[in-house]
Amino acid sequence: MMSSGKKKLRVGVLYGGRSGEHEISLQSAASVIKNLDTSRYDILPIGIDKQGRWHVGSMKLIQDSPKTLSIAQDGPEMALPSYPVSKSEGSLDVIFPIMHGPLCEDGTIQGLLELSELPYVGSGVLASAVGMDKDVAKRLARDSGIPVVPYVVAKKGQWLKDPKKVGALVEKEIGFPCFVKPSNMGSSVGVHKVKSTTDLAPALSDAFKYDSKVLIEKAIAAREIEVSVLENAKEGEPPLVSIPGEIAPTHEFYSYEAKYLDENGAHLMIPAKLDAKQVEQAQKIARDVFTALECEGMARVDMFLDKNSGKFYLNEINTLPGFTQISMYPKLWEASGVPYKELLNRLIELALERHRRKQDLSREYLP
């Protein structure tokens, strides 16, 4: 913890990015910046535009647009990942990447930050990449005894070569209704509920627009339960879990439209109406997935609770969850006794601690 009088930490907030969730990131970043304690931190907003260029901004961005941060167009462009931009500025102490989706939370940015030896908030390269790939994440989870909904994988090559064979596999192994979804995506982009054989081909060709690997999953009548996870500051101790929340979409499923185009697309319920045993089951899955995927910092774990069987399944893990003040991740923490500002402090402290631990590792093998 910092005591007063100590030098302020320079926090670079990295936001925007080249994914479909660019706009969500602008809102998440605005909330994060507004809530970072300015008595402890000096904040530098660094916006990545949709073309992938990095723009260094200033706190004026927040004054101009408090709800959704814009990207500075007049400031210096940053040649990645070199910082300081000019010698007169100090270097950054920690980066808070607050971007979602491919090229943002999939380990690519994290790799760049590793190379530049900057401490950063959230999971490292491995967990970020694995968390982004729904197929690999589920395989690892399954290996740890975490229940996942039955699914098969189709590769674009197989599909183009022999679509009938893929169709037959789906009918035999999964049946209808099923969900078709790109393995690496987010925001329900390319996700389809397929009710019969005739709808399968169009759903698959759309999903293959976004990734060369697609999951076809048994559709279940599910309640959607989410738990926020935070790394334990005590090394080696199990991660901390929030109370569960629930998202009840008002559409047939939690589609892109329900998420972003319809203000009343879903009801958020905190806490989720669950009995004590169900709360424990949901929290156990959340803890186990975070650990199995070797996550660090934070993650939001999304689960299905089968309305028919009463069984929980892991749906997916988000290593950089939405972070606006009304987003599920911080709201669940707030309801579990960790206010938004405190959450930011803890995440930054965890980032610095991991960096210290890494630097303590032996480099004796170097000549």
Ligand X SMILES: Nc1ncnc2c1ncn2[C@@H]1O[C@H](COP(=O)(O)OP(=O)(O)OP(=O)(O)O)[C@@H](O)[C@H]1O
Q: Considering only 55-63, 82-90, 214-222, 230-238, which stretch makes contact with ligand X by CB under 6 A?
A: 214-222
156, burial (CB in 10 Å: exposed 0-12, middle 13-18, buried 19+): middle
- Residue 226 binds ligand X, judged by CB under 6 A: no
What is the distance between the alpha carbons of residues 187 and 23, in angstroms, rounded to a whole number?
12
Which conformational region is residue 151 in: left (phi greater than 0), alpha (psi within -120 to 50 degrees), or beta?
A: beta
What is the distance between the alpha carbons of residues 43 and 60, in angstroms, rounded to a whole number?
11
Is 302 a residue of the active site? yes
Residue selected from 29, 191, 320, 332 as contacting ligand X according to rule CB under 6 A: 191
Task: Return the ∠ at Cα 231 (arms to 80 and 315), rounded to 5°.
Answer: 90
Is 318 a residue of the active site? yes
Q: Considering only 12-20, 44-52, 218-226, 237-245, which stretch makes contact with ligand X by CB under 6 A?
A: 218-226
Q: At its nearest, how many Å lie between ligand X and the CB of residue 196?
A: 16
Q: Considering only 68-76, 79-87, 219-227, 333-341, which stretch makes contact with ligand X by CB under 6 A?
A: 219-227
CB nearer to ligand X: give 81 or 182.
182
What is the distance between the alpha carbons of residues 304 and 282, in angstroms, rounded to a whole number?
9
Q: Determine the size of the site formed for ligand X (CB under 6 A).
A: 21
Q: At its nearest, how many Å lie between ligand X and the CB of residue 358?
A: 28
CB nearer to ligand X: give 81 or 102.
102
What is the SS3 assignment for 53?
coil
Q: Among all residues, whose Cβ is closest to ligand X? A: 254
Is 111 a residue of the active site? no
Is 40 a residue of the active site? no
- Residue 312 binds ligand X, judged by CB under 6 A: no
Is 280 a residue of the active site? no
Residue selected from 15, 54, 208, 254 as contacting ligand X according to rule CB under 6 A: 254
- Residue 149 binds ligand X, judged by CB under 6 A: yes
Residues numbered 63-92 forming contacts with ligand X, rule: CB under 6 A: none
What is the distance between the alpha carbons of residues 223 and 71, in angstroms, rounded to a whole number?
37
Pairing mode, strands 9-16 and 94-97: parallel
CB 32 within 8 A of CB 66: no
What is the SS3 assignment for 24?
helix
- Residue 260 binds ligand X, judged by CB under 6 A: no
Q: Quick count: other Cβ atoms within 10 Å of Cβ 1?
A: 6
Structure tokens of 201?
């081909």
- Residue 327 binds ligand X, judged by CB under 6 A: no
Q: At its nearest, how many Å lie between ligand X and the CB of residue 318?
A: 6
Structure tokens of 237?
């101790």
What is the distance between the alpha carbons of residues 106 and 123, in angstroms, rounded to a whole number?
10
Is 167 a residue of the active site? no
Q: Enumerate binding residues for ligand X (CB under 6 A).
A: 149, 179, 181, 185-188, 191, 217-220, 222, 224, 249, 253-254, 302, 315-316, 318
Active site residues: 21, 187, 260, 300, 302, 316, 318, 322
